[in-house]
């Protein structure tokens, strides 16, 4: 797909998207590719329409929030969002952005990550975090969970104790353990009222996915 066609998908920020898409998705991780960025953008714009805030800063933060790739199983995973914020700052500086807008975008990127465990302090940062976490729950979240498990060489489940009734949860070995260790916890941490409402429906879908999976095995 050409850059201009992709940029149009990010309306009304087509020009910004055209500038930033070449930097947006780093590496070959299909759970953090341009499709993920577009889903997060749509989530973010839906939240911003209700919550307000600076849509341009939010759009730039969405487009660049995964501009540095660090694998989920890397010991440096917690540094990914900080590294992305640093890279994003340089990109926006070259585009002539004002220092305060660069700082606001960088803060949103730095604090969006679950692994970084840093509190978002601005509305734009809260909206980016919510928009990104919406993509980790629901049907897409389940699909991404299984995709990442395959990418990292994990099994789908423990065939003798799938729900970890008599063993410790281990989401590095079994994909469905990740539902309990992380995914089911995300809905409680949303920052905006709009994000929380959207998360409730996706959380229910995630529970349904696991219930159907367990029923079939």
Q: Do 167 and 96 belong together in one domain?
A: no
Last residue of a domain, one of 119, 150, 177: 119
Asked which of 52, 85, 119 is the last residue of a domain, the reply is: 119
Q: Which pLDDT value is given to residue 1?
A: 53
In a domain, 127, yes or no: no
- Give pTM, 2 decimals: 0.91
Q: Do both 12 and 38 map to the same domain?
A: yes
For residues 157 and 189, membership in a common domain is answered with yes
155 conformational bin, left if phi > 0, alpha if psi -120 to 50, beta if neither: beta
103 shares a domain with 1: yes
124 belongs to a structural domain: no
Domain boundary among the residues 87, 119, 151 is at 119
CA distance 189 to 136: 13
Residue-level pLDDT at 30: 78
Name the β-bridge partners of 174.
155
Structural domain count of the chain: 2
Residues facing residue 155 across a β-bridge? 174
Residue 172: which domain range? 136-217
Residue 29's pLDDT is 78
The Cβ-side half-sphere exposure at 31, using a 13 Å CA radius, reads: 21
Q: Are residues 98 and 67 in the same domain?
A: yes
The predicted structure's pLDDT at residue 24: 87
66 Cβ neighbours under 8 A, 6+ residues apart: 24, 25, 26, 32, 36, 37, 84
Indicate whether 193 belongs to any domain.
Answer: yes
CA angle centred on 67, ends 192 and 197, rounded to 5°: 15
Q: What is the pLDDT along the chain (217 residues), one digit of tens a residue?
A: 577 888 899 999 999 999 999 998 766 777 788 999 999 999 999 999 999 999 999 999 999 999 887 766 555 566 788 899 999 999 999 999 999 999 999 999 999 987 778 899 999 999 999 999 999 999 999 999 999 999 999 999 999 999 999 999 999 999 999 999 999 999 999 999 999 999 999 999 999 999 999 999 9
Same domain, 141 and 190: yes
Contact 133, 34 (CB under 8 A): no
Predicted local distance difference test score (pLDDT) of residue 118: 85
Residue 77: what pLDDT? 61
Asked if the structure places residue 83 within a domain, the reply is: yes
């Amino acid at each position: 797909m050409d850059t201009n066609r992709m940029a149009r998908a990010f309306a009304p920020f087509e020009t910004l998207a055209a500038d930033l898409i070449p930097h947006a998705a780093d590496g070959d991780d299909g759970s953090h590719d341009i499709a993920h960025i577009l889903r997060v953008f749509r989530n973010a714009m839906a939240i911003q329409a209700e919550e307000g805030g600076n849509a341009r800063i939010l759009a730039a933060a969405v487009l660049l929030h995964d501009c540095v790739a660090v694998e989920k199983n890397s010991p440096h995973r917690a540094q990914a969002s900080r590294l992305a914020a640093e890279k994003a700052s340089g990109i926006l500086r070259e585009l002539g952005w004002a220092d305060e807008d660069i700082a606001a975008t960088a803060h949103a990127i730095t604090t969006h990550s679950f692994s970084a465990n840093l509190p978002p302090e601005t509305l734009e940062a809260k909206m980016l975090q919510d928009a990104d976490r919406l993509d980790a729950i629901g049907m897409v979240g389940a699909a991404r969970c299984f995709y990442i498990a395959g990418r990292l060489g994990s099994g789908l489940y423990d065939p003798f104790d799938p729900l970890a009734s008599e063993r410790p949860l281990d989401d590095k070995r079994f994909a469905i353990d990740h539902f309990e260790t992380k995914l089911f916890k995300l809905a409680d941490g949303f920052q905006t009222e709009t994000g929380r409402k959207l998360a409730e429906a996706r959380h229910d879908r995630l529970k349904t996915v696991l219930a159907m999976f367990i029923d079939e095995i």
